[in-house]
Amino acid sequence: MTDSPVQVIRQAIGNHPDPETGRSIESMGQLLAISVDQEKVNVEVALSTHSMPILDDFREALESKIVAALPGSNPEIKISTHNRPPVRLGQIALRAKSVIVVGSGKGGVGKSTVAASIALTLQRLGSKVGLLDADVYGPSIPQLLGLSGRPAVNATKRIEPIKLNGQMPVMSMGFLVEPDQAVIWRGPMLHGSINQFLSDTDWGELDYLIIDMPPGTGDVALTLSQAIPIAGSVIVCTPQEVALLDAVKAISMFRKVNIPILGMVENMSGFLCPDCGKTYDIFGRGGARTKSDETNVPFLGCLPIDITLRTAGDEGRLAEVIDQDERARAPLEAVTKAMVRELASQTLQRPAQGTTLPVL
């Protein structure tokens, strides 16, 4: 007896991995319905909000599997979202599905701008995101996002983060010390303050917690890696040789503390002159891609020097610009999606963990 078209489709896509857990959508109960009417194939799948940034990739992959299994068919994939609650990470109360750290070898390469932009882009694409500014020596996230105020302690005795537009929880040393007071803590005090940011802050339930790391130093990376499982790190550098050499040090620092590396981003990669339309490679170009090949680290993309981004950062309007300026947003969105794809693919490569859901 030949299989019915519905069975053919089920066989073709049932084994497809959920981008979040790496398990087959059928075994996870995510394949809700399949119907076939002549060439029309309707499929309903439920994904968690964590997978939203790569929803298009997922849809296209299912469509091509369906067309390969039933040539001439016209698939329509309906994706609904269901929210898998995040697991508690480590021994602390933080509930997040993926913690991602953004680091650099040296300061001034745009690490904080990229960290904040990744957080904002993930949120735009439908995920629940928190942003922790762990750059305790030079906290610039409040400035970039135009946030100020002192976090209050709520009824459950936890620190209430400052919310960007009433939505995205943000925590920074910049909310606790005066802007001109450089934090000179080292060792145990630093360790304590980072742990407090993670465990005593009421983050709520998050898909992603993005952490803006201090440049270079291994102290904070070590503290974080001991406190919580970190899904991955992103390394920001400019194309200049000196920045690239420091980025290589950052790569070895993350490797030393066993934080997986999701990839490298080349920031300030070329300047497109708005007046003459010519591109100038002010800091050079392409060096990060070469370094990432040499160090066996994925390359997540390039971000051009963009005056809009610089003024937005200076004026505390980064969120507004990412929301409203398609041209400024496009390269940031490409880098963010490349990062989520890399996270999904690294998750798929990890060995399956019995019957419990893997912590991403």
Interaction pattern, residues 258-287, with ligand ADP; x per rule: CB under 6 A: ---------xx-------------------
| Closer to ligand ADP by Cβ: residue 8 or 224 | 224
Task: Name, in order, each residue with C-beta under 8 angstroms of 29's C-beta and a sequence gap of 6 or more.
Answer: none
Cβ count within 10 A of residue 39: 12
* Residue 179 within binding range of ligand ADP, rule CB under 6 A: no
Residues between 121 and 160 with contacts to ligand ADP, criterion CB under 6 A? 140
Contact 237, 268 (CB under 8 A): no
Please state, in angstroms and rounded to a whole number, the distance separating the CA atoms of residues 34 and 96: 32
Please state, in angstroms and rounded to a whole number, the distance separating the CA atoms of residues 238 and 344: 26
* Residue 109 within binding range of ligand ADP, rule CB under 6 A: yes
- Side-chain half-sphere CA neighbours of 228 within 13 A: 30
Please state, in angstroms and rounded to a whole number, the distance separating the CA atoms of residues 41 and 60: 14
| Closer to ligand ADP by Cβ: residue 121 or 267 | 267
Residues between 44 and 73 with contacts to ligand ADP, criterion CB under 6 A? none
Please state the closest distance from residue 212 (CB atom) to ligand ADP, in A: 7
* Residue 100 within binding range of ligand ADP, rule CB under 6 A: no
Which listed range, 36-44, 77-85, 105-113, 226-234, lies at the site for ligand ADP (CB under 6 A)?
Answer: 105-113
Q: Which of 20, 306, 333, 342 binds ligand ADP (CB under 6 A)?
A: 306
* Residue 108 within binding range of ligand ADP, rule CB under 6 A: yes
Please state the closest distance from residue 303 (CB atom) to ligand ADP, in A: 5
| Closer to ligand ADP by Cβ: residue 168 or 312 | 312
Phi, psi of 245 (to 5 degrees): -65, -40
Q: Which of 50, 111, 337, 341 binds ligand ADP (CB under 6 A)?
A: 111
* Residue 107 within binding range of ligand ADP, rule CB under 6 A: yes
Please state the closest distance from residue 186 (CB atom) to ligand ADP, in A: 20
Going by C-alpha positions, the residue among 214, 187, 130 that lies closest to residue 164 is 130
Please state, in angstroms and rounded to a whole number, the distance separating the CA atoms of residues 291 and 248: 8
Secondary structure percentages of the chain, helix, strand, coil, to 5: 40, 25, 40
Distance between terminal CA atoms of the chain? 42
* Residue 113 within binding range of ligand ADP, rule CB under 6 A: yes
The binding site for ligand ADP (CB under 6 A) comprises 104, 107-113, 140, 267-268, 303, 305-306, 309-310, 313
